[in-house]
Structures are given as C-alpha cells and as structure tokens.
Chains A and B, each alone.
Chain A
Amino acid sequence: MVIKMNFEYSEKDENFRKEVKDWLNETLPKSLSEKVKKYQRLTKEDYEIFMNNLTAKGWLAWHWPKEYGGTGWNAIEKHIFEEEIIKASAPRIVPFGVNMLGPVLIEFGTEEQKNYYLPRILSNEDWWAQGYSEPGAGSDLASLKTTAIDKGDHYLVNGQKTWTTLGHHADKIFCLVKTDLNAKPQLGISFLLIDMDTPGVEVKPIITLDGEHEVNEVWFTNVKVPKKNIVGKENEGWTYAKYLLTFERTGIAGVPYSKSALNHLKMISKRSLKNGKPLIDDPIFSSEIAELEIDLLAMEIFNLRTVSAAAEGKAPGMESSLLKIKGTLVRQKTTELLRKALGPQALPYLPEQFDEGWNEMPVGPSYAGPIAKQYFNMRKISIYGGSNEIQKNIVAKASFGL
C-alpha cells in the first residue's frame, strides 16, 4: 500500500555512472591522477590533456544544451559526472570558459559571438579567465572601478582586476567594467571580452599563503577593446554577471571532495600514533571524526534532495547558498582534522616536493607533505564565490521577509 521514499539511483543513472567510470578508467592517464592525488602542481598541459579528452568524448560542455554542443544532462547526471571525475582524481575542469562564459554567451551573446567563441571553448583553443574582483571590490562587487570609455570604434579600458585564477595561462578574459561612471553602481556596468595579448594588459602573480601561484593580478593600461566585444547591452552587465553567479551549480557542496578527504583522514588516523596506539582509538579525536562524518552524511542527503528537485525542474534558490556554507565548513573541517592528525609531522615544508619528478625522501610519511598546505589553501573556499557571510545575506533577504 505504501510507496517508500526512494534514495537509490535509477538503473539508467547507474548505467550512466558506469559509463563515466569506465571512460575515466580508459582515458585518464595514471600519471595524471597520481599527481592530483599527491597535490602536485599541475601544468597547463595537464589540464589540457583531460579537457581535450572530454572534448573528444563530447562531455566538456556538461552544462550546455545539446544544440550548442553540450551534453544536455539533467541535474542528476551532472551530479554523477562530477562525483566520478572527483573520485577518479582527475584535474578540475577549468570552469571559466566552459561553465561560466559559455552559458552567458548562449543566453545573451550575438550570433557572431556564439559562432566565434563557443566552438573555440569547446575545442579548448581559448583559455578564459574571469575578471570580476578588484582590490576595492570584493563582496561589494558592484563598486568596481575598472573603466571602459567609449572611443567610437573601441572602448579604452583602464583599471585592475585581482584574484584571477590561472590567469597566467589565459588567452582571454571576460571582465565587468564601468561604462557609465555617473550611474548607480549596478547600473553602469558592462560585460566585456578582452584578448590578453592586447597591448596594455599585464599579468602579475600573487603568491598565496601556501606558497603557490594560482591567482594573479591583471592590470589594464589604455587597453583598446573592439566594441563588438561587449556581451549584451551596454550598462546591463550586472544582470549577466548575476546570471552567471546563479547558474545552476550542482556540485556546490563539494560532497565528493569531502568524502575522499574523510577517507584519507581515517587512513591517516589509523597510521598516526598516540601513546603507541592508533590515533583513531583516541575517543576524543575519533568523536570529532564521527560528528564530521554525520554532518557529511546529512549534507549528502540535503544535496541529493536539491539535485533531485533540480532534475524535476525546480531551480534551487536558497538551497545553493545553504549548501555552499555547509559544504565549505565541512570541507574545511576535514583539512583541520587532517592537520591535527599529523601532529608535528605537519610541520615540514618542502615546496619542491610538489613538482613532478621529485624523488627525494620526504620528512615523515609520504602523505604528510601536502596536509598543512592544503589546510591553508582551503581557507579560500569560504571566501570565494560569494563569501559565506554574503551567502547568509542572500538567504536572509530571499527567505525571511525581514
């Protein structure tokens, strides 16, 4: 008489999962997944090997509709795909072109822009960067100051962008720029596509607290940008930027990352010793792990509920923000416990060990090297993509009616 709630994937979904898994098994080079597992530095080529494989398979544009060369997958399929590529320790799919700019061009670009840029994104010919944040415009993004002045046939761009992830590899950058200096902050912004080769564009590395070079400053000094490079209408860029930010992100909670980190944590806690016994036998430490695991278990169901509703066509609203907050807290907690599990073994910092081909003896166990560095690196996830405080503002505004 009673129909039960069903927490299982359908047979079709399970078949799809197997297809993704098998494909990754066949095509992802072991040397590459090993590098990812060991947190070694990835070169531009490393990313491209994986992304070119995806292109060949037709899976790169996993958020695009079919008619533009995308997969047309529903939210559950996207979720499965993302879970499997993370489980396989593949490099991340660099999102700026394919997951961010692509959907904006599909929605707001001209035919000419679509015909030119989309195939180049699909073939990985262009490496895109995102030019949003500025030194004075972080959470208050609309207060940005980079200007693009109308000079008839071109815009003249001056200003500075920052936190530009992998911008040192980029061929092109999509930027939010001020085109009406007198309008209210949100109203005078335009969405502009800029070639990194243009004279006046300069990329300067930012070395982060973990000693790594992932993000950059991008400076614009009298950069001439053709007027056809504007996306949509002048002064309406804020709308497109918001569209991009709210674009359905099934993986926002990072459940598979936290799951694999939790397994890693348990493994290390079994090997680390306290009073000659495995650390995991220490009731206080293992209790911290257990409550983290319970939080993760609940979050996984929360995430699946949201994914499943999205597959039915219900766009996630405040759920995305809530999952972003919880997802980052859980993931950061895994890095904290990993760091604590190592004790003094977390101290040695040998930056050269993250280069390919390093074959000296590590200090302590081989898994210890990246742990503290990862902990510091992961502080970023509650800051970027709309800080957790901003997410709380969004939820409060959208759902409380205060």
Chain B
Amino acid sequence: MDFTLSEERKMLQETVGKFFNSNYKNLDKRSENVNLPEGYSKEFWKESSDLGVLSALVSPKFGGLGGSGEDISIIFELVGKSLCVEPFLSSAVLSSTVLSSISNPRIDLITDIIEGNLLMSFAHCEMNNRYEDHYIETNAYLKNDEWNINGTKSFVMNGDDASKIIVSARINGDINDRDGIGLFLVDNDQTLKRPYNTIDGYRSTELTFENLKGELLAKDENALKCIIKANSAGALALSAEALGIMQICFDLTLDYLKTRKQFGKSIGAFQSIQHRMVDMMLEIEQVKSAVMLASSTFETDDLTRDKNISAAKNLVGRVGKLIAEETIQLHGGIAMTWEYSAAHYAKRLIMIDHLMGDSDYHRDRFKLLSNF
C-alpha cells in the first residue's frame, strides 16, 4: 500500500502550484480575468500550455505527458485553490477525453489543444437533459453524404471562444434512447451564440445550430461510451477542484476565527465553533480519501471507474454544501460581501454540484452501478 505521491507528481504539484499562485495572487486578479472579453486570460492559458499543465491532463498515448486520474486530481485541486477560470475543464479534459476515446483518436486536435493553439468545448448539456448521458433532443440527419445538425445546446463552457465544438446529437430513435446517438465535430463560427457569465465567475454559452454541417466522430455504443467517459473525467476533475476549494475555505475560516474578536475574545475560543471546525476538517479528509480512490481507479474498467467517481462526486456535493455554508456562517457578515474571497470560493463550491451530475444524480448512479 502506498498513499503518497510519486516524486514526479510532487514536482508537478509544486511547479503548477507556484505558477497558479503567482498568476492568481488575489481576487482582483481573478476579477480581471473574469471581465476579459473571453471570460478568462488568454495569456495565462498560453503560459499554462507552455508549462505543460495541459499536457499533464492527457495520456502519452495521445500526445500528452500524464492523463492519469492522479494527474487530473493534482491539477484540478490546484485549479480549485486558485479559483482559476481558464478552460481547463471544457477544452483540456472534456474535449480531449472525447477525442481520445473515439475509435480513431484525433491526436492532431488533441496536440493543438495541449499546445494552446486550439480551444474546444464539449456541447452535450441541453436545457432539459439535466445530467443525463443519453437524453438528447438535438438531432442530426444525413443528406447528400453530409450530416446536418439542428437544435440548441446549453451551458456550453467557453462555448463563445472555442473554435471547434463537439456536439452530441440524436441520429435515430427517441429522445430517451441509449442507442442512436452521434458525436460530431463542428466549426463554431457558424453557430448562433448567446454567451453569459455564470454565478461562480465562469463563461458559458447557449449554442443553436440550424442545418449546421458536422463531421461524425462516433455513433451508437461508442458515442455513448465517450460521453460517459468525458462526463466521468469531468466529475473527477470537479471533485478534485472542490477538494482544493474546501481546503482554502477551511484555512480562511480558521484564520478568521483567530482574528475576529467578540465578547472580548477571538471567536475561535468558543467550543461550539471549534466543534464545527472539527466536523469540517473530518469531512474534508473523507472527500480527500474518496478523491484519492476515484483517481486511483480512473484507468481501470468502466464500472469501477464510474462507481468510485460517483461516490466521490456525491460526497463532494454533500460536503461541499456543508463547507460552503459553514464558511459563510462562521465568517458572519464579511462573507456576504463581494469583495471578500471566501464568498467566491463558497459560490464555486456550491455550483460545482450543478455540473456533471449533482449529489443526487451520482448517488443514483452509484446505486445502479453497485446493483442495489
């Protein structure tokens, strides 16, 4: 048994951690990035690529230098600690996972992604498909040997700035069928876009397609497998991101308990508050354990991978709510302000439960995969 990181990984963690820290020194810097036209810093994104952060998210089989569950977790824990708004998830995890999982992997595109020359996003969510892998209304039909896609995709992360999009669309069957799904590669310049910011500081977009021409990447069983794998990889990344955020929330709160004085003493001197901090600490250890387990089985069979990722994401949803709410409550009024960082960490932590499956979704998936 060995629960420690290898030397290479420790180095990765240290280098990337320093780099993120120096670029995301404080909340003002983040706000600056959020308010850029693309909703993130292209400069920071390019530097991330140069430093190898993006290639650390992709397996050597597909042109990267990492791509294991541990690599994803290490990077995203740091993304969480700095609250980075760059498109690590949409482009480097979701899109590259699909591109590497299709029958003929598109190493050309993956290489462009990790070199920072191409931004892609994965358009799977729709207004009505909640977190489902297979419930798809957008459709595609073949005419004169060309695929035509019609429909609207929702909550497409960085869908305004991405130049290529992977779209899931129904090629036959009913909306709720697990079969009959296709994955298409489309150019984003022909789509109708409605970009907006999310409440936690990220950029998202509604994309509408009218007879948009697309290249078929995968269909039927292979397409569904790719969607499930991308969503699982995303859920793992978000779980690790949440773990990083939780640690920061805990540290900020503990600092505040030492600083803030009421009734003539620091509020941390009160036992009722100390006990709540222990509850937080304990639950963060639980999340850390679940993320470690999910990371270590990311490259095993699909069933084990998805079961452990669902366990982690369910726990993250439950504990995330505890940590976010306690962080705000124990800070008191100050955490209600826009200018204080804890509020932004808490917001992201809560909204992570609204991405790639919430705690209910993953609890149900865990049940299904555990043969309840």
Contacts and interface: CB of A to CB of B under 8 A. Distances in A.
Contacts of A283: 364
A3 B8 contact: yes
A294 B70 contact: no
A4 B68 contact: yes
Given A5-B4, A396-B277, A402 B268 contact: yes
A400 B268 contact: yes
Interface string B354-372: 0000000001101100101
Interface string A1-19: 1111111111001000000
A208 B222 CA distance: 60
B275 A392 contact: yes
A297 B311 contact: yes
B282 A322 contact: yes
Interface in B325-372: 363-364, 366-367, 370, 372
B188 interface: no
B114 interface: no
Contacts of B9: 2-3
A308 B296 CA distance: 16
Interface stretch (A53-61, A82-90, A299-307): A299-307
A9 B2 CA distance: 9
**Chain B contact residues: helix, strand, loop or mixed:** helix
B192 interface: no
Contacts of A399: 281
Nearest to A318: B281
Given A4-B296, A5-B2, A395-B278, A286 B289 contact: no
A294 B66 contact: no
B289 A3 contact: no
Interface in A375-402: 389, 391-393, 395-396, 399-402
A326 interface: yes
Nearest to B258: A402
B363 A290 contact: yes
Contacts of A319: 285
A286 B279 CA distance: 25
B275 A299 contact: no
B1 A308 contact: yes
Residue among A289, A391, A396 having the largest count of chain B Cβ atoms under 10 Å: A396
Contact of B71 (A2, A297, A305, A392): A2
A392 B278 contact: yes
Nearest to B288: A302
Residue among A286, A293, A299, A400 having the largest count of chain B Cβ atoms under 10 Å: A400
Contacts of B314: 290-291, 294
A287 interface: yes
A391 B2 CA distance: 28
A308 B3 contact: yes
Contacts of B315: 294-295, 298
A230 interface: no
Contact of B286 (A13, A266, A298): A298
A129 interface: no
B25 to A, nearest CB: 25
B323 interface: no
A121 interface: no
B290 A297 contact: yes
B303 interface: no
A76 interface: yes
A294 B311 contact: yes
A305 B291 CA distance: 13
Given A9-B1, A294-B363, A402-B268, A322 B285 contact: yes
Q: 3 closest Cβ contacts across the A-B interface? A: A301-B289, A396-B274, A3-B6
Interface of B: 1-6, 8-9, 60, 65-66, 68, 70-71, 254, 257-258, 266, 268-269, 271, 274-275, 277-279, 281-282, 285-290, 292-293, 295-296, 308, 311, 314-315, 318, 363-364, 366-367, 370, 372
